[in-house]
C-alpha cells in the first residue's frame, strides 16, 4: 500500500509529519512518500520514507502558485491514499487525485488564525476567515477523514464529518533515553526556550522577566534557540536587551538541530512555556512542553486551560499569567532556589510522559484509520524505526524529529 503526505511549507523532517506519522506508517509496512520543503535536490530516502523535496520560497505568492504543481506531483506518485497538511494544498490535491481517498490533517484552527496573520490586511481578515470556513466545509465533503491535534479541534469537525481522528503531538518515548546531568549538577540558574522566537511565544516577556530578576540581585540567565519570526522582531529583541543591560544574561544559540536543541534543554534548570493566548494554544499544546517534561526539566508555563490539562494535573511546573512579568519572575526565582521542589516537578513530568503523553499511545489510532481506509500493509514490509537506507543521512534517534519549532 502506497501513501503520500503532501506539504509545502513544512520541512521534510517536521516533528509531526515525518517523525511521528510518516515513520509510524513506514515501520508498519506502508510505502510512504513525503512531499515537503528541503534543501536537498532530487528524491531521497530517509528511514524508509521517500522524500520529494521542494525548495523554500521567498514569498507567499510563490508558495500559493506552486500548490497546483505540488498536487500534480502527488498524483504522479500514484498513492492509494493522500494525507494533506496545509490548507492551500487541500483543494488542488483533491482536484488532482480524483477518487483516491484524501485525509485532511488540520494542525491549527485556520479560521481563527487568519486574524493573527500580519501579512493579511486587517480589513480583509473577516472576509478571508469566512471564505475559508465555507471552502473547508465544501472540501470536507470530498475528504475520506479529518485528523486533528486535540479533542477541542475534533469537537469543531465532528458535526461536519463522520470520521474524525485525534492525533496529539506527543513525543516518542525514545526522548526519555536522553540523559541529562542529575538535577544538582544542572545549571539551576538557567532558563531555556527552544522554538520559534516570536511575539506569541512571549520572548520579549521572558527577556523582561530576566531583567526583573537582575534588579533583585539574582544571577539567573536565559538560553534561546530557534529562528526569529522576522528580522524586525529580532532587532526589537536586541534593542530591548541593550536597553535593559542584560546582554550578559541572555545567550542566543541560533537554529539548532533537534538533537542539539534537546541537549540544550536537558542541561537547563527551568523550561519556559509562557506563551501568550492565541487561537492555536486555545485548542492545542506546544510541542516543547512535552519535550521539557520528558527531559526532566521543571516548567514555568502559561496558566491557560490546555496547558493546565497537561502540566497542572501531574504537577510538573508552576503556572503563571504570561502578561504579569513579576509573577513570571517569582516562579523562575522559586524554582532556582527550591531544589527539592524542582526535582519533584521534574520527576512528575517524566512520569506523565511515560504513562500518558507519548506518541506510542497515539500511533494505534493512525494505523487503525489507514487500515479502515485502504487496508493493512503487507506484513513482510515491516521495518524497524532504526533501519537505515544506503543514501540517507543517518541520525541517532530518528523519532526525535526535526529542528525545533
Spatial CA neighbour of 25 closest among 403, 293, 391, 381:
381
Q: Is 192 exposed, middle or buried (CB count within 10 Å of its CB: 0-12, 13-18, 19+)? A: buried
Report the C-alpha gap between 20 and 169 in whole angstroms. 8
Instruction: List, in sequence order, every residue forming a beta bridge with 292; answer none if it has no partner.
Output: none
Helix, strand, or coil here: 54? strand
Between CA 113 and CA 108 the distance in angstroms is: 8
278 with 305: CB under 8 angstroms?
A: no
Q: What is the dihedral of CA 390, 395, 400, 405, to 10 degrees?
A: -100
Model confidence pTM above 0.85: no
Structural element, H or E, at residue 222: strand 221-225
Q: 41 in helix, strand or coil?
A: coil
Q: Is 287 helix (H, G, I), strand (E, B) or coil?
A: helix
Tell me the three state secondary structure of residue 10. Answer: strand
Q: Distance (Å, rounded) from C-alpha 221 to C-alpha 188? A: 10
- Give Cα separations from 354 to 174, 347, 360, 361, 390 (angstroms): 10, 11, 10, 10, 33
Report pLDDT for 181. Answer: 55
Q: Is 137 helix (H, G, I), strand (E, B) or coil?
A: helix
301 phi/psi in degrees, rounded to 5:
-130, 155
* Cross-strand partners of 128: none
- Decide: 263 and 225 in contact? Cβ < 8 Å: no
pLDDT of residue 294: 92
According to DSSP, the residues that pair with 272 across neighbouring strands are 300
DSSP 146: E
How many whole angstroms separate alpha carbon 21 and alpha carbon 364? Answer: 11
Domains observed in the chain: 2-172+359-400 (3.40.50.2000), 174-355 (3.40.50.2000)
pLDDT of residue 52: 97
Q: Rounded to whole angstroms, how far apart are CA atoms 16 and 33?
A: 15
Predicted confidence pLDDT, tens digits, the chain (405 residues): 999 999 998 989 888 999 999 999 999 999 999 999 998 989 999 999 999 999 987 777 777 788 999 999 999 999 999 999 999 999 999 999 999 999 999 988 777 777 767 777 888 888 888 888 898 999 999 999 999 998 888 999 999 999 999 999 898 888 888 765 555 455 789 999 999 899 989 999 999 999 999 999 999 999 999 999 889 999 999 999 999 999 999 999 999 887 888 889 999 999 999 999 876 666 677 888 999 999 999 999 999 888 888 888 889 999 999 999 999 999 999 999 999 999 999 999 999 999 999 999 999 999 999 999 999 987 666 666 555 554 444 333 344 333 333
E strand segments, 12-80: 31-37, 44-46, 49-54
Amino acid at each position: 500500500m502506497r501513501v503520500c503526505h503532501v506539504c509545502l511549507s513544512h520541512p521534510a523532517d517536521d516533528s509531526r509529519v515525518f517523525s511521528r506519522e510518516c515513520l509510524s506508517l513506514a515501520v508498519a509496512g506502508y510505502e510512504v512518500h513525503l512531499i515537503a520543503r528541503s534543501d536537498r535536490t532530487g528524491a531521497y530516502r530517509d528511514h524508509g520514507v521517500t522524500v520529494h523535496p521542494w525548495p523554500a520560497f521567498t514569498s507567499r505568492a510563490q508558495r500559493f502558485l506552486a500548490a497546483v504543481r505540488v498536487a500534480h506531483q502527488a498524483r504522479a506518485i500514484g498513492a492509494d491514499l493522500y494525507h494533506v497538511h496545509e490548507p492551500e494544498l487541500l483543494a488542488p490535491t483533491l482536484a488532482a487525485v480524483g477518487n483516491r481517498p484524501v485525509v485532511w490533517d488540520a494542525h491549527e484552527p485556520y479560521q481563527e488564525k487568519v486574524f493573527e496573520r500580519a501579512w493579511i490586511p486587517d480589513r480583509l481578515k473577516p472576509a478571508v476567515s469566512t471564505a475559508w470556513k465555507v471552502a473547508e466545509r465544501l472540501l470536507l465533503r470530498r475528504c475520506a477523514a479529518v485528523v486533528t491535534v486535540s479533542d477541542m479541534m475534533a469537537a469543531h469537525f465532528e458535526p461536519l464529518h463522520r470520521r474524525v481522528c485525534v492525533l496529539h503531538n506527543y513525543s516518542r518515548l525514545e526522548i526519555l533515553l536522553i540523559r541529562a546531568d542529575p538535577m544538582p549538577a544542572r545549571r539551576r540558574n538557567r532558563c531555556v526556550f527552544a522554538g520559534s522566537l516570536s511575539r506569541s511565544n512571549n520572548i520579549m516577556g521572558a527577556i523582561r522577566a530576566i531583567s526583573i530578576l537582575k534588579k533583585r540581585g539574582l544571577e539567573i540567565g536565559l538560553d534561546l534557540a530557534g529562528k526569529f519570526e522576522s528580522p524586525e522582531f529580532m532587532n526589537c529583541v536586541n534593542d530591548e536587551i541593550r536597553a535593559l543591560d542584560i546582554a550578559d544574561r541572555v545567550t542566543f544559540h541560533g537554529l539548532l538541530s533537534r538533537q542539539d536543541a534537546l541537549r540544550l534543554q536537558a542541561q537547563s534548570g527551568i523550561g519556559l512555556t509562557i506563551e501568550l493566548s492565541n487561537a492555536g494554544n486555545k485548542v492545542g499544546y506546544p510541542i516543547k512542553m512535552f519535550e521539557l517534561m520528558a527531559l526532566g526539566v521543571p516548567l514555568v508555563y502559561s496558566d491557560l486551560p490546555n496547558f493546565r490539562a497537561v502540566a497542572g494535573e501531574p504537577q510538573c511546573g508552576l503556572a503563571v499569567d504570561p502578561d504579569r512579568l513579576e509573577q513570571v519572575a517569582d516562579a523562575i526565582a522559586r524554582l532556582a532556589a527550591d531544589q527539592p521542589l524542582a526535582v519533584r516537578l521534574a520527576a512528575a513530568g517524566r512520569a506523565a510522559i511515560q504513562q500518558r503523553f507519548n506518541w506510542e499511545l497515539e500511533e494505534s489510532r493512525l494505523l487503525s484509520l489507514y487500515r479502515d481506509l485502504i487496508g493493512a500493509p503487507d506484513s513482510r514490509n515491516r521495518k524497524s524505526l532504526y533501519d537505515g537506507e544506503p543514501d540517507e543521512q543517518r541520525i541517532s534517534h530518528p523519532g526525535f524529529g526535526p529542528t525545533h519549532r
